[in-house]
Homo-oligomer: A and B are copies of this chain.
Amino acid sequence: MSTVATRRPAGTTHRRAPEIIEAAARVFAERGYHGASTQAIADVLGIRQASLYYYFGSKEEALTLVCMRGVEEFVEHAAAIGAGPGTAAEKVRALVHSHLRPLVDRRDFVLVFLRERHLLPDDSRRRVGRLSRRLERIFQDVLEAGVRSGELRPGLDCRLVTLALLGMCNAAPAWYGKEPGASIERIAAEFARLAIDGLAAGRSRSKGGR
């Protein structure tokens, strides 16, 4: 955001900085934060381990940076969808699409965010925690509005369904790229369809819970 080349502005802005943080994301994604040594990150970059500390002040800071890029935009996009026009169905479809899209070019960042965010230092953990909750809130609001409008099945437990949808989507990074023929588009379409049909206020369907 800051355009002026300051002297080490908080958050690290060096020439190779993006490269470095990407390497960290990769290694954290592969081995987990605690399983990843700074040496392994340096190896990926072909530099010496000590040199990493020119780019970040601590391993924890690297994790913070990675996690940050793993959530950013998520919420903004979702918020725009939530606030925009459209039926609940259309919004759910859009939310699912939007939630899966970062997988294409940010899989490692997302994976690290999903799995390792609880290791963040207190302040950044709380920050991403708030983001997470805002995201959940957006999903839930869309669902609740859908129920109120009668578009979605009455009696829907919107909280649980939110968690179901997010769980469904958040599992994708773990296998995306290993399932042949599963493009983001296909996945999003299939997931959205499942969700929308599963939530729609319908007629006779499933003889009724238990």
Contact = CB atoms under 8 A, between A and B. Distances in A.
Interface residues of A, number: 48
A196 B35 CA distance: 39
Interface in A176-205: 179, 182, 185-187, 189-200, 202-203, 205
A145 interface: no
Interface stretch (A56-64, A72-80, A122-130, A157-165): A157-165
Interface string A138-182: 000000000000000100110111011111111110010001001
Nearest to A35: B34
9 contacts: A115-B115, A159-B179, A160-B179, A163-B175, A167-B167, A167-B169, A170-B171, A171-B171, A202-B202
